Amino acid sequence: MEPRLPNARGPLSMAVLELLTERAPRSHLTRVEASLGDADPYGLDLQLALYVCYELHYRGFAGVDPGWEWNPGLLHLRNQLEAEFLTAVRRDVGDIEPDARAADETDRLSVEPVDGSGPSYYLRDTGTWEQMREYFVHRSLYHLKEGDPHAWAIPRLIGQAKASFVAVEFDEYGGGRGNQLHQQLFADLMEAAGLDSTYLRYLNDVPAEALSVVNLMSMFGLHRDLRGAAIGHFASTEITSSPGSRRLVEALERLDAPEPCIGFYREHIEADAVHEQVVRTDVVGDLVAREPQLDRDVVFGIRARDVVEDRLAAHLMDCWTSGRSSLRRPLS
């Protein structure tokens, strides 16, 4: 079943959501008027508007005309939203050194800080089960479509990079077994944790920071021009997954969590340790050997992921260390 449309959070999301209640015009090009004005590129209104636009390319929404997916008027607005977001991310990534190399950047990702901090460390050491469940809710936006945002990159790759990229994605998609889809494993995790595993069930409840981590990968995936960044994002996801998943397994064992919760992250400790090597050498290495001009784009994709992930991490830590819920609507 298709997900339900979320509630508007400001003029931009209102403009998009009101449009989607109508039938998409087929015969003429109608400009969609919405003023971006001084909209916060990381704010909830813009991020939600963008999220809804992108979702038309995934599963769409119940009662929404699928014709909106390629409506030029809506795409024009989406383009403006993306430009604001991408400009902000480029500003926060900062200048990329002329001699920056993807190989060095992936090496950097592999080195775990001895005294790391952030949500997975916090959850491992002191987090509560309620905070863990909030973490699942934030991450549900990605994990219930895990693999999909990166899959847009497949037609943009060739040769070994493509073969190896698909080999990794094959595992994300359960290696041919529907009940082993990582999307399904995460749904199982949510049910075991007493959460609703319905796709996008929590779209109204998460803050902008949780939306922007998914919007970034959708944006990279849907633009061929940003394929280097998409591969950088993918590489960063795979390389940092194994140690992060290990901490979450430790957190869940400490909290005596149900087995499906532990199983999801345990699967990622082992699989992603293998994926890391494949991604580093056969995906990134092969891509930049073929298209050296993409080297710095891969670096940008890695650092851009850091920007949005750091924003989410800061939000979580800020809320949790001051005893507040990190969701817009606390779990009952």
Q: Give me the residues that bind Fe ion (CB under 5 A), please.
A: 172, 182, 238, 272, 275
**Which residue, judged by CB position, is nearest to Fe ion in the bound state?**
182
Of 272 and 309, nearer to Fe ion (C-beta) is 272
How far apart are CB 240 and Fe ion at their closest, in Å?
11
Token couple for 120: 């997975």
How far apart are CB 258 and Fe ion at their closest, in Å?
19
**261, 192 contact by CB (below 8 A):** yes
- The position carrying tokens 């549900």 is 140
Of 259 and 318, nearer to Fe ion (C-beta) is 259
Q: How far apart are CA 234 and CA 287, in angstroms?
A: 13
How far apart are CB 268 and Fe ion at their closest, in Å?
6
- The position carrying tokens 């993409």 is 294
Q: How far apart are CA 330 and CA 332, in angstroms?
A: 6
Q: How far is CA 101 from CA 104, 300, 308, in A?
A: 5, 10, 21
How far apart are CB 172 and Fe ion at their closest, in Å?
5
Of 272 and 295, nearer to Fe ion (C-beta) is 272
Of 229 and 283, nearer to Fe ion (C-beta) is 283
- How many angstroms from the chain centroid is the CA of residue 249? 21
What residue spans of 94-154 are helical by DSSP H? Answer: 102-110, 119-125, 129-143, 148-151
How far apart are CB 122 and Fe ion at their closest, in Å?
22
**81, 97 contact by CB (below 8 A):** no
Q: What is the DSSP string of 28-80?
A: S--PPP---TT--TTSHHHHHHHHHHHHTTTT--TT--GGGGG-HHHHHHHHH
Of 273 and 319, nearer to Fe ion (C-beta) is 273
**24, 71 contact by CB (below 8 A):** yes
Of 209 and 272, nearer to Fe ion (C-beta) is 272
How far apart are CB 301 and Fe ion at their closest, in Å?
16
Of 181 and 319, nearer to Fe ion (C-beta) is 181
How far apart are CB 147 and Fe ion at their closest, in Å?
7
**229, 300 contact by CB (below 8 A):** yes
Q: How far apart are CA 190 and CA 194, in angstroms?
A: 6
**45, 10 contact by CB (below 8 A):** yes
How far apart are CB 183 and Fe ion at their closest, in Å?
9
Of 71 and 164, nearer to Fe ion (C-beta) is 164
